[in-house]
Structures are given as C-alpha cells and as structure tokens.
Structure 1
Amino acid sequence: MATTFRFSRASWSSSDPLNHPLNHPASFAVYLASRVIPHIIPMAHAILLGSTKAGQASAIERKANGLSPEYPEPLPQLDAATEAQVRAQLREIAAHLSFDVCAGEMALASCQPIPERPLPKLPGSASKIWINTSQYIAIERSFHSRDLAKFFYSLLELTISLIHEVAHAICFAVEPAEDVCEGNGFLGPEAACDEIGFEFESRLFGGVFGIQSARTASYYVNGCNCSRSELLGKAGFSEWPNAWIVNSYHARQDPVRTRRELSEEVVRWDVGLERVAEMFQESFWHCGSTRVDMQFPRLKRIWDDKSSEKVACESLCVENMDVDKVSDEDQDVDMVLEEIDGDSEDDDSDDEHLEHEEMEIEDLCYDSSEEEV
C-alpha cells in the first residue's frame, strides 16, 4: 500500500536529521500498522466488490432515505489474482491518501474526504487522515521517561487509529465523490452497526481497543513498585458492537446507524503489557506459518479469551497482581524498549528499519517537498 506522509518543511531539514519523523518513537506504530495492513485485504475486497455496481443515483437515494451501503461478508481467503487486484486498488487509494496532525479536543483521529480530488480509477475521492497531536505527545514523553505501560499502550492505540481511519478512506474511495458518502457501511449481513472503522478493529483484534480512564494508575513504571505509570486507567478491548460507543456518537450527532437494538452490557477484557510489547518485535510475526495462524486466532489468544466473569485475568492491575510477577514482566518489556532505544540511536539500524517499512507498506515515502498546514 503506497502511503505518503506529508509534513511541514519547518519540522525537519537535512541540517537536523535527528528530527526526522522516522526517528520519532511513534514510527514504531507505523511499523506495526504495516504488519497489520495486509490482513485487511479481504475486508477491503468486500467493500470494493460491494460498490462496483453502485452509481451516483443509488448513493444519493441511500442518503436521502437515511440508509448506509451494504457490503458482502469478507471471504476468508482470496485467490492470488483477486488479491493482486485488490492490492492494486489499495495502492491507488494510498497514493492519494495524506496524513496530518491536529491539536484540540477532536477525537484521537479522523478521516475526511477531499471531493475536489476524485480518484482516477475509482468512483470516490482522495482522503486525509488527521491524527490528534496528543497521541504523539503521549508516545514521546513516555518513551523518554521510560514509562513502559504508557509507551506501548499508546503505540498500540496509534496503530489501531491508523487502521481504523484507513477503513473510512477505503469507503470514501469507492462511493461517488459528491457529498453523499459518509465513509461507513455495513460489512457483511450480520454487521449491527455501519461504523466501518470499529468493524475493522473487531475483525482484526477481536474487539475495540481503549483505555478505561480512572483517577489512579493501574501499572507500575519500569518494574519499580514505588512508582506508578502516568497512564491513568486500564488498557483493554471491548466487544463490538458496543452500545456505549454508539450512544456517544449519537450524542455528538455523528451519522452512525444500527440495524438492531444493541445490548447495554459492555463486555471488556484487559491485555497484558508484555504481550503488547511482543507485537513490535520481528519474532512475533515470524512465528506464524499461515495468515490465519499468524493473525486472527493468534491475536485473539494473545488478548486472552473472555472468561465467564467477562474479564480476563491477565491484567497488570496493581491491586490484583503479585509484585514479583509485575517486576519480571516489566523487566522483559524493558528489554524490548532498550532494543527500540538502541535502534533509534544506530544509523545503520535506522536504514534497515526504513527499508523494511518500505517493503511492508510497499512505497512508504516522506515527501518533504510538499508543505501541509
């Protein structure tokens, strides 16, 4: 997927190479996203397939009647020819996809269509993904303070935000470029909500990631039992569809539609810090021999199955975890952070890391010639 990251020329210059975005700790979220992106191809295929016969008139009619596009159920596996075709279409979408940062009280991220920039081979338009600067700040500060919990959970949060918004960008690309597409759709006949980003999250990771806020921290810093993380609350996943999330969208008048009434009960489970840190290592991705083995079942197992009490027991919660176990796990995670820290200081390693990212996203390009506001 060819992706261009555009940034202000003032933010980086050849005279200050250490300020290059690839040296920012948040670049590891791009690495993880590059590992996950290939596994959205079946879902992207369903969206592309479901929109091939949709024209301008049908799109206008749907919006007038308050309806959302309906896409078929993604196939479990695509043949080589179909996958190659989908990859080519995703490359076109990515070639016209730009990223920027935005401060303020906006959501963690958002995707907006650019109707004045229609795609050459698809009926929709280009898109722009906005990332809240708070995500970058959280990653940068926790990296320098070696706050392992906040660092890795924030990296995972940014990774999932990118995947979530890419899902909307695909919808914007396949619907007519006029002001009739909302970037959502029902993915499969069983989808209860048309919020396509959360549907991608749920199918990839088994649920929707979030940090349940609290007044106190639930994690230690770097294995030190006397110091708690700046991350207030607990990180985990919740089942989708989620009535609480849907209601929050309705409260701010976002156009999210449902097919049936959702249960008010929210099933949630925690994720272990060490397990999250493993995802940023090559060994995690090399241990699976097939797509299914490496991706969906493995990721769902890693986050642990939901127990009858509807909460997994592998949380790093201070109140319920043995002190020695917390210290041992944080030491393992600290080794991962030291490895990442060492990589960021080694020029040769940076070059290898950049080459690997270019291979995974296929044409990762930082365009310093184009300024963005």
Structure 2
Amino acid sequence: MSSNNQVYPVIWNDQSPAETLRGHVLLIDQTRLPNEYAVVEINRYEDMARAIETMIVRGAPAIGVAAAYGVYLGARDIQTTDRGEFLAQLEPIAQRLRATRPTAVNLFWAIDRMVKTAHQTLGAVAYLKQTLLDTAKAINADDVQTCHQIGDHGLEALPASPDKLRLLTHCNAGALATAGYGTALGVVRSAWRDGRLERVYADETRPRLQGAKLTAWECVQEGIPVTVITDNMAAHCMQRGMIDAVVVGADRIAANGDAANKIGTYSVALIAKAHNIPFFVAAPLSTIDFAIADGAQIPIEERNPSEVHTVGETLLCPTGAEFYNPAFDVTPAALIKAIITEYGAIAPAALKDQLASKQVV
C-alpha cells in the first residue's frame, strides 16, 4: 500500500460504494518485511486485536489508527437497534483492544475518542455506526497531516550546521509506525526533501530489529542514504564524529517530558549527552499523557523471551539461561533537547504549559 513511494500501513478499503459498511482494513504485515511485502485483510475487531498484539501493525500512532478501525469493526457487527444496548456491547470491544499493548498511549487515546463519539452521537444505531467509521477515517487522515507537520517542525529544530546532516535513529518511527510519513522519519524525510540530509544511521534495534528491517526498508524505498549499525556501535560512531543529531519516536510521554520508546533508546540518549549531540523526540500530541507526572508511572510491556533467545529458527542461547525482555525504556526529560510535535519543537519542561490545553479526546 504505497503511492509515489509513500508508505501507508493502515488503509480503510470500501468494497464498493454501495457497501460502505462492509468494507475492511488493509494492513501491511510488518513481521514479513523486508523479505516479503504482504497485505493482511482485517474484517473483525478480534483479528485487529491479534494483529496489534503480534506486531503485524506496530508503532504508537499506527496502533492508534488500527485500534480506531477495530472499534468500528466491532461496532459494525453488534446486532441491535437499541442505542443503550449498542453502547453496552461496545465497551467489551473497546476493552479487548485496550488490552493489546499497555505502553503505547495513542492506542488508548484513539479508543477513548471512538467510545466518546459513540456516547455523544444521537440518532439511530445505523447512523451511529457510520459516525464511528467517519471518526476512524478522520483519525487516520489527521495522523498523516500531523506527521508532515512534525517533519517540518523537526527540520527547523535540527542543528544549523553542517549543511548536510547525519542523523541517528533508533527503532522505526517512520511511515510504517504511523498512518504515513512518520514522526522521527518524518523529520528525516523533510530534511532529505530540503537537501539537508547526508545520511541516516539506523540502529538495528534488538531484539526485533525494527531499525534494520523497517527503517532501512523505508529509506531504501525512497532512495534515502541509510547505514545500518548494531546497537552497540552508536557510541563509536558518535566518538568518531559521524553523528550530528539523534531523532527518535515515542510510545508515551509523561507530563514532565520523560519519554518511553523502544528498549535501548535511553542508552542512545546517554551516549548523545556524553558527546554533546542533540537528542530529539518526535511524537504527536496524542502520545503525551498529561495524566501521569513522570516516566516512573509509564507501564513497560514485557514480551516473550523467545524474541531474545531465538532469531528465526536459530536458538542463540544455551538451554537453562533465563531471559528478560522489556519492550521499552524511559529516557529522562533532562536528556532530551526538544520534543517535536505538530505544534512545534518544545522543551520538555514547557510541555504542560504549552500543550495541555490542546489535548482533546
């Protein structure tokens, strides 16, 4: 699902103009990239929940968009014309989708917006269902626009010199992780568009290798120069003067600016600080959770240990060893130069004053 080399990982597809309410969602299966480009058709909310859990779709904004469509798919199959009964049956659907990934706040933001829309919309159940589909489509379209804004604000925030920048990123915060264009890779794309980018260095991002598999794939699709490095090479590259700035995404940002992102991000931030290299977090307003004061309150998902001890069908570790597999870590606000949102690049300490009033479910 691409157009003019742009990738769109979550797309609503109407089967026909006369059957709008029987459309479906198309997802790029990110577990098969970069070796195979495959599209999965999603018709039921339970299938969407499993797609989120198994990381067929991944990245906080993309998960939010997918979950919004998931709420609609569940709502579409509710068999009642009674509004009160419809709303009662909608809640377990929302709860199932909320349970898929605990860290990415965009998931909860999108589901809450869908549920709130359902409760605030008056009229017949059929009209309510159509309104939910329209809301999911709006969340989808808004995210693409937001990512373009983040990309352009991020370009303005990057160092003024050198003329051609070398940027390091960790994990994938690109078009595949959003509705399109990307957050951290949105900044990269805007820099490339305006002739300010020399090269992207992509951390491989163990254990699931999203940098090596997904970030590098996106860059190759668009002809953006990309060099993949192992996670433990970042310090060496900075020490040798190969990196001008770091730009990463986030799955949840606390009110004080602490940011949760893929495991290993905190290490990169510490290394950047040691080398006086600016470290930026790029994320939409929906990623900021003003309900929590700091990063200590962000729930950290732990995933299956097989992601650590096995690659493909190859066992890397001896039988009998134990494993720890947190999916995220939290980078303290003190290590972040700015958080780049659709409203501009903002110092972490100023988030609440500048953005809290704009947070609307």
* TM-score normalised by structure 1 residue count: 0.25
Considering Cα pairs closer than 8 Å and 6+ residues apart, tell me whether 1 or 2 has the greater RCO: 1
